[in-house]
A and B are shown apart, each in its own frame.
Chain A
Amino acid sequence: MNFYAIRSIYIFELARTWRTLMQSIASPILSTSLYFVVFGAAIGSRVGDIEGISYGAFIVPGLVMLTIMSESISNASFGIYLPKFTGTIYEVLSAPVSYIEVILGYVGAAATKSVILGALILATARLFVPYHVLHPFWMAGFLLLTAVSFCLFGFIIGIWADSFQKLQMVPLMIITPLTFLGGSFYSIHMLPPFWQKVALLNPVVYLISGFRWSFYGVADVNVEVSLGMTLLFLAVCIAVVWRIFRTGYKLKS
């Protein structure tokens, strides 16, 4: 293992986050706070409890997930797209590093940032809505798994994209709808029966449901199923990344 290389990439990437502190931390916190104010406090007070949980508290796990997913993707994809775009990727390609080390560096740094961000948003949420966490260990576990999986997914998008448009297209066109339709703001049990079935095709439903279960012990789907789906998504991402590096796809001619 080339530990110095992992450390170098990791530090380099976190330094980038630090430099752009406003965009990378402040703006997601601000926008989530707005959700809490509008949905949690203003509208939430007029909406009844969902499965015994006040609406404001109900949306906390979903909103955290929503931010984690989109931030993980945009962060990790940008992290690898930038050196590809400027050409500095040549150095990583010519270095004595294996793809595992490259991923540990890039994805590790992006996931670290996502987890920190998640914690900050949870702390911020506290200011607006009282909530409790029933299973803190599972909560941290789901948070970490989601951060890592979506950072890997972002990494793949960053390698695949050959323009800024493509880089932004996937999060915008696929992830945003999936997260909004994934039960961040409602329980899927509130949907008509047909749409409940359709919703189950959305992988994000499982992530949010599992995460919410770790807070309140209530879930749209079985928590084991949630965990299984999360791990499956992670496995798929790992497999794709493995293929990318084996073939040099979009990295080497």
Chain B
Amino acid sequence: MDSIISVSNLSKTYASGFQALRNVDLDIRRGEIFALLGPNGAGKTTLISIICGIVNPSSGNVLADGHDIISDYRAARSKIGLVLQELTTDVFETVRDTMSFSRGLFGKPPDPAHIEKVMTDLSLLDKADTKIQALSGGMKRRVLIAKALAHEPKILFLDEPTAGVDVELRRDMWEMVRGLRENGVTIILTTHYIEEAELIADRIGIINKGEIILVEEKEALMQKLGKRQLTLYLQNPIASIPAGLNGFDLELSGDGSELVYTFDVHGEETGIAPLLKLLNEHGIDYRDIHSSESSLEEIFVSLVTEKR
């Protein structure tokens, strides 16, 4: 497999003693869009920060396009563009100047045409000579992306790119991300929304408490995650599930007062209508119904317990 980022046995313990990453192994394929999915505090930012050189690793190593990020940091870093989660921009500089600064910093000779092209792609051209302080939050986010693309990186990291971003920018961003991939750029983004990963990624990695729990093709994962639950709150508790309901994935909880039905949203039919009909026939009355999608949290729990 041709991997452009190769993380092996990477661990990070912060000075506070907190271990943010535990023996992470991860390979990103050349040219893919990879989504790193995990709840807040999972270690996504830490992982990206180490790969990009902002945080020192405690142990383990990382190769970027074949170059060790520490011993061969120049070659490794010149390939990488980074957009952080926070809106940390210059203040008094113009959009054009801050982009030119970024490009130079990454060792590339000036190229006004490329700068203009990136600004055009991100709808920033009319703000080219505006000072950053005069821009809105969404525009600042665009500037950060533009800065990261100023030196034509082969690998682009986007840390929570859609946090607090309006619909329009989100759409533009996905369009841009797909366009970049068509030009051979590998994109790694983090998110805590399944929907977002589902929309854009080729492969998805799930991280929780500093550990990579699984990495899978998006389709395969969505199949796994596409379970939904229907909870029926019964009028009268029952001791066991009647044999006539064997064909359904049912579970009793709440001392027999709740009946939980699990079904696949990707299936031909949900099976809800026949189930309700059968319940009626068995004389099981319910006072309320609650439907829930398996949340990310629940998925983590189930994945983690599955593994152990």
Contact = CB atoms under 8 A, between A and B. Distances in A.
Interface stretch (A36-44, A91-99, A146-154, A200-208): A91-99
Contacts of A128: none
A190 B80 CA distance: 62
Given A95-B77, A253-B56, A15 B104 contact: no
A90 B106 contact: no
B100 A8 contact: yes
Interface in A61-101: 86-88, 90-98
Contact of B78 (A91, A96, A252): A96
A2 interface: yes
Contact of B54 (A9, A11, A94, A98): A94
Contact of B14 (A15, A19, A93, A253): A253
A8 B53 contact: no
A253 B18 CA distance: 12
Contacts of A97: 105, 107
Given A87-B88, A88-B88, A95 B101 contact: no
Q: Which of A5, A9, A16, A98 has the most CB of B within 10 A?
A: A5
Given A15-B97, A87-B88, A88-B88, A93 B105 contact: no
B248 interface: no
Given A5-B104, A8-B105, A15-B97, A87 B92 contact: no
Chain A: interface secondary structure? helix
A24 to B, nearest CB: 14
Given A93-B54, A94-B80, A248-B56, A88 B89 contact: yes
Interface in B1-38: 14-15
Contact of A252 (B54, B102, B104): B54
A216 to B, nearest CB: 43
B135 interface: no
A12 B94 CA distance: 11
B55 interface: yes
Interface string B101-116: 1111111110000000
Listed from nearest, the 9 A-B pairs whose CB atoms lie closest are A8-B104, A87-B88, A96-B77, A96-B74, A4-B104, A94-B52, A96-B78, A95-B105, A2-B107
Interface of B: 14-15, 52-56, 73-78, 80, 82, 84, 86, 88-93, 97, 100-109, 147
18 contacts: A4-B103, A4-B105, A4-B107, A4-B109, A8-B101, A8-B104, A8-B105, A12-B97, A15-B93, A19-B92, A86-B91, A88-B88, A88-B89, A94-B52, A94-B54, A94-B82, A95-B105, A253-B55
